[in-house]
Structure 1
Amino acid sequence: MTTLEHVELVGEGVDRVDGPQKVTGAARYPNDFGFPNLAHVALVRSTIAAGRISGLDTGAAESAPGVLAVITHENAPPLGRAPDTFLSAPPPPLQDDRILHYGQYLAMVVADTAEQATAAARRVRVDYEAAEPVTDMHDPRAELLTDPGGVDSTRGDPEAALASAEVRFEATYTTAPNANSPMGLFATVAAWDGDALTVHDATQWPGYVRTALAQVFAVPESGVRVLAPFVGGGFGAGLRAWPHVVLAALAARMVGRPVKLVLTRPEMFTGIGHRTSTEQRIRMGATRDGRLVALDHESTTTLQMEGNNIEACAAGTASAYACPNVSTRDRQVRLNVTWCNSMRAPGEAQGNFALESAMDELSCILGIDPLELRLRNYADRHPQLDLPWSSKALRECYEVGAERFGWSRRLPEPGSMRDGDWLVGYGLAGVSFFWYQAPCQAGATVRRDGTALVRSAVTDIGTGTYTVMAQLSAELLGLDLERVTFELGDSDLPPGAQAGGSGLTAGLGSAIHAACRNLVRAFLDTVRDDPTSPLAGCTVDEVSVGRGRIHRTGSPERGESYADILSAHGLAELTANGASTPADSQQLGLAPAGPFGARFVEVRVDPSLGLLRVARIVSVIDAGRILNEKTATSQIIGGTVGGIGMAMFEEVVTDAGTGRIANATLGDYLIPVNADVPEMEVIFVGRPDRFNPIGVKGVGEIGLVGIPAAIANGVYHATGRRIRSLPITIDQLL
C-alpha cells in the first residue's frame, strides 16, 4: 500500500507503454498529419554567409505548375518577435534583406504538392551584395561578449594561489561544433481558422511554441494549439520556435490553405542550430601530494550574429572540486554561423572534457593515480555555496565503478598494456550535470470505471515520459499501471515544462505528485460528511491508497474504492490539478544537486594504422530515485553513444571562406554506428534527492558527460599521446 507522503517509487523496468504504437507504425509524428486541401512549402536558402540581397527574381517560380505563392521579404507582412526564454528566440524570417549565415531562409514557395514546391524553389534567382564572413573565433573583427550568462564566478585569490603553488599546470582544449540532427526530420503542419491556428510541430516545448506563434502573428494565445504527441528525437534542437515553424504558419495564412513544411536533411544542419565549438584554457595549482590550491577555467564559445545562447562551459568547474581558489569565466564571439543551440548536455559536455582531461594531466605530473587524485579533492559540500548537497553519491560512483571495471589492473605507465598489436588504455572521468527544474502543471482524473487520466502539455522525445509518468501516477493513486493513461503533446493541456535541461522528470513528476494528492483530497472531501463512508472525516495525511481504493492508514479494511465513491455520489469522475515550482535552496539550507557519475573506459589503439576503438564502458550514475530502471538505463546508453560521437566522429565542417557547411548530410557527417558501440554496463547508486517530493534527478544528459574525457584519457594511457582537441582523428594518432 502507498501513503501519500512516502511513495515507494523504486522503479521496475517496465516496458514503454507507447512501444506497441511505435513498433506497429501507429504512432503519429508531425509529418504524419495533414488536412484537406493541404499545400506544401519548399524553402530557398542563402548561398552566402554575410551580406545583403540585392535582387530577387521570382517570376519563373511563380509561373511554375501548381505554385500558389512565392513569399520573400518583399511581400511578407511584418511579424512580431517571439519572447526570449533562457534561450533567445530567432528573429522572425523574411523581414529584411540582411544575410547573417549560410543557409538562411530567403524565400519560400507554396504549391499544391511537395514536388512542385521543390521544383519551383530551384527557379528562384537571388542576387547578392556579398560581404566577407566572420567564421573564425580568432578573427579580430569578431565581437567578443564577456560573461554573457552572468555566471562567471571567483572565490579566494586564484592568481596568488597559482603563483605560489608547488606544482602548476596549464593547457588549452578545443571541441568541434556538433549537429543535433535527430533521425526524424523536423516538420510543421499549420492550419488557420480565422485567428485560430492549429500546428503539428516537432517541438520539445509545445507551450512555448504556442506563445511564440501568438506573439509573432498578434493573435490570442488561447486560439493557438500546438500538437506534438510524438517527436522523432530532439537532443535540444526542439527547444526553440524555429523560423521554419513561423514560415509554415505564415504560408498557411497567406494562401488560405493548410500547409506542410518538412525540412530536408541539409536544412536540418542549417535551420535548427548546433552545439557550439569551444576553446578552453585551464590553469591548475596543486600541492605535491595532490591537493588543488588554485583552478582557473576560461572558455570561449562561438555564437551566431543575433540573439543569445547561454553555453556556460566553465561554470561547472566552480563546484566540481574542493579547491579554495577558483575562477571561471565564459566568453562568446559572434560569427556568421548558423544558430548556436542547446545540444544534449550543453556546456557540461564541452567543459567536462577540458576539466577532466586537465585533472588527468595533473595526475601524471604528480605521479598520482587519476582516481586517487579525484578522491583527494572530493567536494563533500558545495564549494561555491558552502552548503550540504541535496544529495551526492559521487564517491560511491567512483568506488563501485572502479571495482566493476577492474581499475586496479591498470598499469600506470602509458603504453605499458597490450593485447597483441593493440595498445590498451584505461581512462576515467568524474562527471556532473547542473541542477535544473522548471515550473510545471498537471491534471489528474479518476473515472467511475476506476481508470485514471493524467495530463500535461509536455513532450516525450524518446526519453520514456509516457511510461515513467504513467508509472508514477499509478503508484500515487494506488492503481494498476494498465488502468492509467498519461496524455501529453498538446498545448491545450495543463501548462508543462520543456523536455530539456534534464529537469522534466523532477518538474513534471512533482506536479503529478501534487495533482494526485489533490485528487485523493477531492475524494475525501466528497465523503467528508457521509456517515456511511468509512473515510468520513479523514484528511489526506491519514489515508493510504492501493488496489483502486483509499483506506485509513494501518486499516486496509476501512476504505472505499474510487468507483464506489463516485457511484454513491452520482459522479462520473473527479479531477484535480497540481503544480510544482523549484524549491528555494537557501530556505532548505541545501545546495541543489543534479546527477553525478563516474565513467570508466577501455580503449584500443593500433599505432600503425591510427585506429581507435572503444572496447568497453562502465558508467555508475547517481540520479536520485530511479523511477524506471529500464528507461533510465536506456537514457545513459543513448547519451554514452552521443559521447562516443563527440569524442571520435562528430564535427560540423564549415568552409572558412564561404561559411558553407561542407558535410551537411548523414553520409558526410560521421556518427557512431553499431560497430563503434562497445559493451556497456550501467549501474545506479545513491539515494532519493531532497530537493523535490519524488526524490529524482535527471538522467537525459548526464549519460553523455565525461565520455569524451574518459576516451581521451584512455588514449593517453594507451599511447602516451595527449589529445586536447575533439574529435580524436586518425592523423592525431599516427
Structure 2
Amino acid sequence: MTTVERPRIVGAGTDRVDGPLKVTGAAPYSNDVSLPGMAHAAVARATIASGRITRLDTGPAESAPGVLAVLTHLNAPRLGSGPESLLRTPPPPLQDDRILYYGQYVAVVVADTPEQARAAARRVEVGYERAEPLLDLDDPRAERVADPWGSDASWGDVAAGLARADAVVDASYTTAENTNNPLGLFTTLAAWDGDALTVHDSTQWPVLVRATLARMFGVPEAGVRVLAPYVGGGFGAGLRVWPHVVLAAMAARRTRRPVRLELARPEMFTGIGHRPATAQRVRLGATRDGRLTAIEHESVSTLSIEGDNIEPCASVSTTAYACPNVSTRDQQVRLNIPWTNSMRAPGEAQGNFALESAMDELAYMLGLDPLELRLRNYAEVHPRSGLPWSSKALRECYEVGADRFGWARRGAEPSSMREGDWLVGYGLAGVSYFWYQAPCRARVTVRGDGTAYVRSAVTDIGTGTYTVMTQLSAELLGLEPGRVTFGLGDTGMPPGPQAGGSGLTAALGNAVHAACRALLRAFLDLAGADPASPLAGCGADDVTVTDGRIHRVGEPGRGESYTGILAAHGLEELSADGDSEPRRAEEAGMAPAGPFGARFVEVRVDPELGRLRVARVVSVIDGGLILNEKLARSQIIGGTVGGIGMAMFEETVTDRGTGRIANATLGDYLVPVNADVPDLDVTFVGVPDAYNPVGVKGVGEIGLVGMAAAIANAVFHATGRRIRSVPITIDDLL
C-alpha cells in the first residue's frame, strides 16, 4: 500500500491565525480591557532636566472633579527594587525629590474618567531647585562608562596593521537618537485582590513584569498575573518595566479600584526609552589588493543618569570581516536624558552604519568595486575564535542580491549615472545580527477530540509568533494547523523570554520542539504498556505522526491515533513540557550564527533642491529555516522601512537649553510614509542552522541593519559627497 505524504506546513506562507481578530477589531489589546469600577490615572511630568523638587502643591488637583487620589514622592509607598535581568528595570518612581530628566514623573493623579485625571494632573504645582543639566555627548563633566558588559575585543596588533597598510581610512560617524513609536499607546491596567495582582500591559516580556511588580510591592510572584496577548507594536520599547506600569499598580492599591494608565504620545517619547545617539570612529587598513590589515572601531553613545542599556555598537566589527588585527571599544556617557533603551537592531544598526560606510570609503580609495572588497575579506570562520559558523550564506546573499539588483550596471565613478535631472546612485552594505537565545519553556496538550493546545508565557508584538508556532506545533504533532491552538501572553503559562533580540523564535521553537518530543514519548509509553499495541517497543525515533496518528516509520499501517490511545486509557488529555537552553559554542564545536544579509539600494538625488529618494531596495537574507516565508518577508519589509527612517528622517531633537524633547509628536517626529517607500524586493537563501534543533535564526532585526549605510553609500555614488551622519538631510545635500 502506497501513501501520499502530507504537505509540509512549515515554510508555507500561511495567513496569520490572529489576522481575523485584528482586522475586525476583536483582538484585546491592553487599552481595550475594562473592569467594573475602573478608575483612570494620568501623570504630571517634570519641566526641568536636572535638580530637585522644592515645593509640591497638590491641593488644586485633589479638589478637581472626580479625583480619587494624588500620589507624589511625599505620600507614595516605599517600594523595593526590581530583579536583576538582562534589561534592568528603572528604579521605582516617586521615591525621592531628585529630577534626572525632563519629563520625569513627579505625580500620578487618579480620577473617575481619563479626562478628569488629565485635567487634574495639569493642576499639580511644582517648584524646583534647578541644576545645570548634562545634555551633550561631548560634555567633559559627564561620567563615562567603559564597557560594563565585557564586549570590548582586541587581537593582533592594530598599530602594526595600520602601519603596514597601503591605504588607511580614518573617519568619524554619528547617528541620531531615535524614538520607538509603536502605533499603540502603551497602557497598563492593574487590579488588586488582597495581595493578588492582575495586570494587563503593553509589554514584550510578561514574565519580567510579573517578577518586577512582585519584588517592588513585596508580594508573592505566584500571586501576580500579567496578561499581554496582543501588543500594538514595540520595536524594543516594551522590553523593560517602565515607571508608568508601577504607577498603575501603585494607584490601584491606594484607591482599591482597578486603575488604567494610558500614556499620551508626548509621554511615549520620555517614558518608554529611545535609541541612543552615537559618535563613532573607524580606522581601516588594507593592502593594495584590498586585504584588510587592521580594523579599529570606537563608539561613544548616550546613556541616562541611572540607565543600564546594553548597546555595544563597535562589536559589529569583531565578526563582519576576516582581519588579523582588530580592536573594538564601546563607551557610554551619562546625561540628563530619558532612559535609553533597545530599539530595533540595537547596537548593530548604529555600528553597521559606521563600519559599512568606512568599507565603502576604503573601496573607492583602492579603486575597487565595493562588492569585491567585501568578498575579498569574507569571514569563512568566526574571526576571533576560528570556529566554523553554525551556518552562513552571506556570500550567496551578495551573489543573488547583485544579480537581482543589476549591480553590474553600476558606473564606477561617482556622479556618473543620471536619469533626467536626477543623479542616480547605487550603494550596498553587508549585514549581520548577533546570535541570541534565552531559556524558554512550553507545554503541549493533546485532547481526546484530537486537537492540541500549546502555550508559553511569551508575547507576540506583531511579528507572527501565534502563526509560526501554530505551524511548527502542527508539523511536529502531525496535525493540521486548524486543529492546533497556540496560547501566549499570560504568565499563568510556562515561563518564556522577551520578544526581542531576534531570539524568541529559536528559544520558543526549541521549547515547543522539546515539548512535542516529550509528549510523543508519553504517548508511546501509554501505548507500549499494551504488548499487543503496534507501537509496543517503539522509541521516538522509530515513529512518525501523520494526521493525528502515530505509526512506525515507513509502515503507516502499524500505528494508533492520539484519540485511540487516550480513549484506551480513559484519559481526556495528555500533556508534556519542554525546555530550551542555549548551548555553549565550545561545547557545540561551532560559532553560533545569527542572520546575515546583503542590502542593495538605488537612490535619486535632485542636485538643485537636495531632495533624496530611495528608488529600489533589494534585500537577500540568510535567516536559517524560514517557518513562514510570507511573515518573514513582512518582517524584512518592515525593518527596511525602519532603516529608511533611520537614514533619512528620524531624529529625536532635544533642546540643549532645557532638555525638553522638541519634536515629541508624530506631527514633528518624521517617519517614512508610503510615498517614501519603493517596491521592496526580498529573497531568502541559506539552509537550516545547525545550532538548534529547529534550524531558525530569527529575522526581526536584520531587516533594519545596513539600510542607513547602503543609502549613504548610494548617495556618495550619486553625488560624490560623503555623508557620515544620519539622518541625511537636505542641508547635507545642498
TM-score bin, normalised by smaller chain: over 0.9
Contact preservation (8 Å) 2:198, 2:224: yes
Contact preservation (8 Å) 1:439, 1:579: yes
What does residue 167 of structure 1 align with? Answer: 167
What does residue 531 of structure 1 align with? Answer: 531
Contact preservation (8 Å) 1:9, 1:625: no
What does residue 265 of structure 1 align with? Answer: 265
What does residue 305 of structure 2 align with? Answer: 305
Contact preservation (8 Å) 1:69, 1:255: yes
Q: Does 1:412 align with 2:412?
A: yes
CA–CA separation in structure 2 for the residues paired with 1:115 and 1:346: 36
Describe the SS at the equivalent of 1:179.
coil
Q: Which amino acid aligns with 1:165?
A: A
Q: Does 1:325 align with 2:321?
A: no
TM-score when scaled to structure 1? 0.99
Contact preservation (8 Å) 1:389, 1:593: yes
Describe the SS at the equivalent of 2:721.
coil
What does residue 601 of structure 2 align with? Answer: 601
Q: Which amino acid aligns with 2:121?
A: A
- Deviation at residue 178 of structure 1 after TM alignment: 0.2
Contact preservation (8 Å) 2:42, 2:117: yes
Q: Does 1:183 align with 2:183?
A: yes
What does residue 290 of structure 1 align with? Answer: 290
What does residue 114 of structure 2 align with? Answer: 114
| Aligned sequence identity (%) | 73
Deviation larger for 267-276 or 160-169: 160-169
Contact preservation (8 Å) 1:148, 1:332: no
What does residue 256 of structure 1 align with? Answer: 256
The unaligned stretches of length 5 or more in structure 1 are 1-6
CA–CA separation in structure 1 for the residues paired with 2:695 and 2:66: 57
CA–CA separation in structure 1 for the residues paired with 2:130 and 2:144: 23
Deviation larger for 270-279 or 147-156: 147-156
CA–CA separation in structure 1 for the residues paired with 2:410 and 2:102: 48
CA–CA separation in structure 1 for the residues paired with 2:10 and 2:367: 42
Q: Does 1:247 align with 2:261?
A: no
Contact preservation (8 Å) 2:282, 2:297: yes
- Deviation at residue 307 of structure 1 after TM alignment: 2.8
Q: Which amino acid aligns with 1:247?
A: L
Contact preservation (8 Å) 2:636, 2:703: yes
- Deviation at residue 558 of structure 1 after TM alignment: 0.3
CA–CA separation in structure 2 for the residues paired with 1:588 and 1:61: 61
What does residue 686 of structure 1 align with? Answer: 686
- Deviation at residue 149 of structure 1 after TM alignment: 1.8
What does residue 424 of structure 1 align with? Answer: 424
TM-score when scaled to structure 2? 0.99
CA–CA separation in structure 2 for the residues paired with 1:177 and 1:415: 31
- Deviation at residue 527 of structure 1 after TM alignment: 1.1
Give 1:384-423 correspondences, 5 Å limit.
Answer: 384-423=384-423
CA–CA separation in structure 1 for the residues paired with 2:198 and 2:658: 38
What does residue 559 of structure 1 align with? Answer: 559
- Deviation at residue 8 of structure 1 after TM alignment: 6.3
Contact preservation (8 Å) 1:148, 1:330: no
Give 1:580-659 correspondences, 5 Å limit.
Answer: 580-659=580-659
CA–CA separation in structure 2 for the residues paired with 1:87 and 1:536: 49
Q: Which amino acid aligns with 1:26?
A: A
Give 1:430-441 correspondences, 5 Å limit.
Answer: 430-441=430-441
CA–CA separation in structure 1 for the residues paired with 2:175 and 2:159: 26
CA–CA separation in structure 2 for the residues paired with 1:84 and 1:721: 46
What does residue 479 of structure 1 align with? Answer: 479
Contact preservation (8 Å) 2:307, 2:340: no
What does residue 501 of structure 2 align with? Answer: 501
Describe the SS at the equivalent of 1:388.
coil
Distance 1:190 1:667, change over 3 A: same
After TM superposition, which residue ranges in structure 1, 4 or more long, deviate above 2 angstroms? Answer: 7-10
CA–CA separation in structure 2 for the residues paired with 1:245 and 1:324: 48
Q: Which amino acid aligns with 1:591?
A: A
What does residue 3 of structure 1 align with? Answer: none
Q: Does 1:703 align with 2:696?
A: no
Q: Does 1:148 align with 2:148?
A: yes
- Deviation at residue 679 of structure 1 after TM alignment: 1.1
Describe the SS at the equivalent of 1:637.
helix
What does residue 316 of structure 2 align with? Answer: 316
- Deviation at residue 534 of structure 1 after TM alignment: 1.1
CA–CA separation in structure 1 for the residues paired with 2:239 and 2:73: 26
Give 1:341-360 correspondences, 5 Å limit.
Answer: 341-360=341-360
Describe the SS at the equivalent of 2:726.
coil
What does residue 465 of structure 1 align with? Answer: 465
Contact preservation (8 Å) 1:623, 1:697: yes
Q: Does 1:28 align with 2:49?
A: no
Contact preservation (8 Å) 1:515, 1:578: yes
Deviation larger for 220-229 or 531-540: 531-540
What does residue 217 of structure 1 align with? Answer: 217
Describe the SS at the equivalent of 1:382.
coil
CA–CA separation in structure 2 for the residues paired with 1:84 and 1:187: 24
Instruction: Give CA deviations for 1:586-627 in whole Å, capped at 9, x if unaligned.
Output: 011100100000000000000101000000100000000100
- Deviation at residue 497 of structure 1 after TM alignment: 1.2
CA–CA separation in structure 1 for the residues paired with 2:536 and 2:470: 29
Q: Which amino acid aligns with 1:78?
A: R
Contact preservation (8 Å) 1:291, 1:376: yes
CA–CA separation in structure 1 for the residues paired with 2:725 and 2:284: 19
Q: Which amino acid aligns with 2:234?
A: G
CA–CA separation in structure 1 for the residues paired with 2:508 and 2:8: 18
Instruction: Give CA deviations for 1:358-384 in whole Å, capped at 9, x if unaligned.
Output: 000000000000000000000000001
CA–CA separation in structure 2 for the residues paired with 1:311 and 1:231: 24
Describe the SS at the equivalent of 1:47.
coil
Contact preservation (8 Å) 1:9, 1:626: no
What does residue 200 of structure 1 align with? Answer: 200
Contact preservation (8 Å) 1:392, 1:593: yes
What does residue 72 of structure 1 align with? Answer: 72
Contact preservation (8 Å) 1:392, 1:622: yes
Contact preservation (8 Å) 2:9, 2:474: no
CA–CA separation in structure 1 for the residues paired with 2:717 and 2:569: 72
Contact preservation (8 Å) 1:295, 1:325: yes
CA–CA separation in structure 2 for the residues paired with 1:336 and 1:226: 32
What does residue 129 of structure 1 align with? Answer: 129
CA–CA separation in structure 2 for the residues paired with 1:449 and 1:334: 59
What does residue 491 of structure 1 align with? Answer: 491
- Give the total of aligned pairs: 729
Q: Does 1:84 align with 2:84?
A: yes
- Deviation at residue 533 of structure 1 after TM alignment: 1.8
- Deviation at residue 443 of structure 1 after TM alignment: 0.2
CA–CA separation in structure 1 for the residues paired with 2:218 and 2:690: 43
- Deviation at residue 163 of structure 1 after TM alignment: 2.0
What does residue 232 of structure 1 align with? Answer: 232
What does residue 4 of structure 2 align with? Answer: none
CA-based RMSD: 1.0
- Deviation at residue 9 of structure 1 after TM alignment: 6.7
CA–CA separation in structure 2 for the residues paired with 1:616 and 1:148: 40
Q: Which amino acid aligns with 1:241?
A: V
CA–CA separation in structure 2 for the residues paired with 1:495 and 1:654: 39
- Deviation at residue 396 of structure 1 after TM alignment: 0.3
